[in-house]
Amino acid sequence: MQPADPCTFVIFGASGDLTRRLLIPSLYNLSEAGLLPDQFAVIGFARSESAEDELRRTFKEMVDEAESDPVHEETYNRAMERFEYITSDFNDEAGWQRLAGAIDKSSTAIGSRNCLFYLAVAPEQFLNVCERLAAHKLLDETSHGWRRVIVEKPFGRDLASARDLNQKLAGLMAEHQIYRIDHYLGKEIVQNIMVFRFANGIFEPIWNRRYVDHVQITVAESLGVELRGGYYEQAGALRDMVPNHLFQLLTLTAMEPPSSFAANGLHNEQVKVLDAIEPLVASECGRTSVRAQYDAGRLADTDVVAYRAEEKVDRSSTTETYAAFRIAIDNWRWAGVPFYLRTGKRLTRKKSEVVIQFRQPPLALFRQASMDAPEPNQLVISIQPEESIKLRFAAKVPGPEITTDPVEMRFNYNEHFMAEKQTGYETLLYDAMTGDRSLFKRADMVEAGWAIVEPMLRAWGGDGCALARYSAGSDGPAQADELLARDQRRWRSL
């Protein structure tokens, strides 16, 4: 692989958590892999007063923390050799003038006008920052340089606001300049879903309604809301996780083979899946979806407080920290195959996976082998904490009698490839620097995602769907089990 294009990388919100924990360690990893160009500069822009040298030191400490091996001084310096920090309010004209000057200076130093802007800022600032970038002509592309903007999530808080933001951004720059990021697509095993499906001949023939009974997508976290109570109160589990991360997993699992893996080929197929989802009916959301909030409980032998007792959370909050629902994809491949999705905080453990459950054999030949119905065949694509793919099937237990037991074939990503520890942002940053938008979301994908959850948002905001409760440290609310039990199915245990 070639190093990325020469560029100046401007981080808005450079003193924040995302920059320290993920962006700078990713730059280090890119540098270590020889994928960062020699002509590279970083400009940090943020409100908090910080000395450049001090920031450099904290960044280095964060890289140290993120790496399993000792940090190579030289690699770190190569990434951060040209680093400038501008303290300014996002509304302060003088700060923007300084930024424009700094970009000019760094462009001359690296011999390139390419600029990648990263909006690691609160969503209320997305538009403001882009408007000011446009006003200072910092988004103008010329033959001497591209200009690209990476926009973090959440992209809007419902369909109307996402549409509005898309329209306003479209007035400021071209779609090809906008990189809407979803860090789930930076995870190797998530990208591997495409390879698993389309680079192998054996799975695709059975990847459809004839052989698949149902699909489960789980993103469970043991973490609570940490220091983000203020944001989370406004968002809740549905907005925070579903239209973005869960729908990425869903579309990669359910889409048709794209005509090419170039951005548009892939995005077209992802959008087709979203468009084929049977519209949810707000009045039925009480039956097809579950919203819940955690009470106090125990996790890893430690007492943890209820959501309502978390910092910056209203003591009588009705924000959901758990969401589960069923959808149907009305297309040729998936007609009649339910997809069950769930996500929640403070569950018994962190676990993200996609489970394809296959139909039972047509005849129970080994009925005498077990009193219970045989365990179903499952293909489990595990994303976190372990990155693996497992296939569960029945095997004969040794002995004179015919008894069966479920066994597993397992491929573990890290054990096999022994890959270096990564943050998940390396590929995404490299792609943005090389102009590959495949792993970023197109405007219509974002809107299609919001359109699907919109009826649920409406129903959940009214009184059509009661807020269920679950104990921190559990597998989630009983109502989520009932959702599947009504269809004679059950969740894979966490």
Which residues in this chain contact ligand BG6 in the complex, by CB under 6 A?
Answer: 153, 183, 221, 240, 352, 384
Nearest approach, Cβ of residue 249 and ligand BG6 (Å): 11
State the Cα torsion 427-446-349-213 to the nearest 10°.
-110
Among all chains, which residue has been given the structure tokens 């399993």?
A: 68
> Least separation, in Å, of the C-beta of 424 and ligand BG6?
7
**Do residues 166 and 443 touch, judged by C-beta distance below 8 A?**
yes
- Residues 269, 256 contacting (CB under 8 angstroms): yes
Residue 258 CA to residue 256 CA, distance in Å, equals 6
Q: C-beta of 275: minimal distance to ligand BG6 in Å?
A: 24
Report, in Å, the least distance between residue 384 CB and ligand BG6: 6
Q: Cβ 383 to ligand BG6, closest distance in Å?
A: 8
* Nearer Cβ to ligand BG6 (32/221): 221
* Residues with Cβ within 8 Å of residue 112, at least 6 apart in sequence: 5, 6, 7, 8, 39, 144, 145
Nearer to ligand BG6, 154 or 376 (CB): 154
The residue among 102 and 453 lying less far from ligand BG6, judged by its C-beta, is 453
Shorter beta-carbon distance to ligand BG6: residue 240 or 426 = 240
Work out the angle between the directed axes of helices 159-170 and 126-135 (0-180°, nearest 10): 10
Toward ligand BG6, which CB reaches closer, 6 or 243? 243
| Least distance in angstroms from the C-beta of 70 to ligand BG6 | 26
Structure tokens at 229: 């109570």
User: Cβ 191 to ligand BG6, closest distance in Å?
Assistant: 14
Q: Which is nearer to ligand BG6, 31 or 423 (CB)?
A: 423
Report in angstroms how near the CB of residue 171 gets to ligand BG6 at its nearest.
27
User: At its nearest, how many Å lie between ligand BG6 and the CB of residue 387?
Assistant: 12
Residue nearest to ligand BG6 (CB): 240
Write out the catalytic residue numbers: 245
Nearest residue (CB) to ligand BG6, 240 versus 431: 240
Please state the three-class secondary structure of the chain as a single string: CCCCCCEEEEEECCCCHHHHHHHHHHHHHHHHCCCCCCCEEEEEEECCCCCHHHHHHHHHHHHHHHCCCCCCHHHHHHHHCCEEEEECCCCCHHHHHHHHHHHHHHHHHHCCCCEEEEECCCHHHHHHHHHHHHHCCCCCCECCECEEEEECCCCCCCHHHHHHHHHHHHCCCCHHHEEECCHHHHCHHHHHHHHHHHCCCCCHHHCCCCCEEEEEEEEECCCCCCCCHHHHHHHHHHHHHHHHHHHHHHHHHHCCCCCCCCHHHHHHHHHHHHHHECCCCHHHHHHHEEEEEEECEEECCEEECCHHHCCCCCCCCCCCCEEEEEEEECCCCCCCCEEEEEEECCECCCEEEEEEEECCCCCCCCHHHCCCCCCCCEEEEEEECCCEEEEEEEEECCCCCCCEEEEEEEEEHHHHHCCCCCCCCHHHHHHHHHCCCCCCECHHHHHHHHHHHHHHHHHHHCCCCCEEEEECCECCCHHHHHHHHCCCCCCCCC
- Our CB check for ligand BG6 shows the closer of 185 and 448 to be 185
Distance CA 73, CA 65 (A): 14
Q: Quick one: 153 or 392, whose CB is closer to ligand BG6?
A: 153
